């Protein structure tokens, strides 16, 4: 609807926090070529293997783990043929890390598949919006750099 009334560039970037960060990663990995970059703050990256994700996926998708694959950022990255830059910030004082948030899983997959992932560990930060406000400028600059690239 907005595109009908306003002029927009077709270049897009996406970011999110926690489950929203997971959603941003999943959309960017599933929609090859739609986004120039993706970033996330303390995202859930491997929901198929953590208690939160297993509970949610079972409730929404059923017990068939194959049905979960298309909603798991780590599994999608392992199978991706399209590459886009990824920036993730993770607070080291986050009470959901490492049990629910497993950025090392995504980091290992990115390394194995030569995927452009920057994972930054933030000492003293938790899962709060204060964490986001402390690093969001870097994320906006990251996306601007990729959105404005020729």
Q: Is residue 4 part of a domain?
A: no
In this prediction the pTM is 0.93
Q: Is residue 97 part of a domain?
A: yes
DSSP 111-122: HHTT--EEEEEE
Which positions are catalytic?
18, 94, 127
> Residue 133's domain spans which residues?
11-147
Domain count of the chain?
1
Model pLDDT, residue 150: 56
Q: Is residue 110 part of a domain?
A: yes
Residues of the chain whose pLDDT is less than 70?
2, 150
Q: Is residue 112 part of a domain?
A: yes
Q: Is residue 129 part of a domain?
A: yes
Segment holding 69, helix H or strand E = none
The dihedral built from the CA positions of residue 8, 12, 15 and 19, taken in this order, carries a sign that is positive
């Amino acid at each position: 609807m907005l595109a009908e009334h306003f002029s927009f560039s077709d270049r897009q970037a996406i970011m999110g926090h926690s489950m929203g960060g997971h959603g941003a990663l999943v959309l960017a990995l599933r929609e090859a070529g739609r986004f120039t970059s993706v970033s996330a703050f303390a995202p859930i990256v491997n929901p198929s293997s953590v208690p939160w994700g297993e509970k949610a996926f079972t409730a929404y998708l059923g017990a068939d783990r194959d049905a979960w694959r298309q909603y798991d950022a780590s599994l999608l990255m392992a199978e991706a043929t399209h590459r886009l830059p990824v920036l993730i910030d993770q607070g080291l004082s986050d009470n959901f890390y490492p049990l629910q948030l497993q950025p090392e899983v995504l980091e290992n997959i990115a390394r194995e598949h030569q995927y452009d992932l920057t994972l930054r560990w933030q000492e003293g930060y938790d899962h709060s919006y204060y964490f986001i406000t402390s690093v969001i400028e870097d994320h906006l600059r990251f996306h601007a750099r990729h959105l404005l690239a020729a």
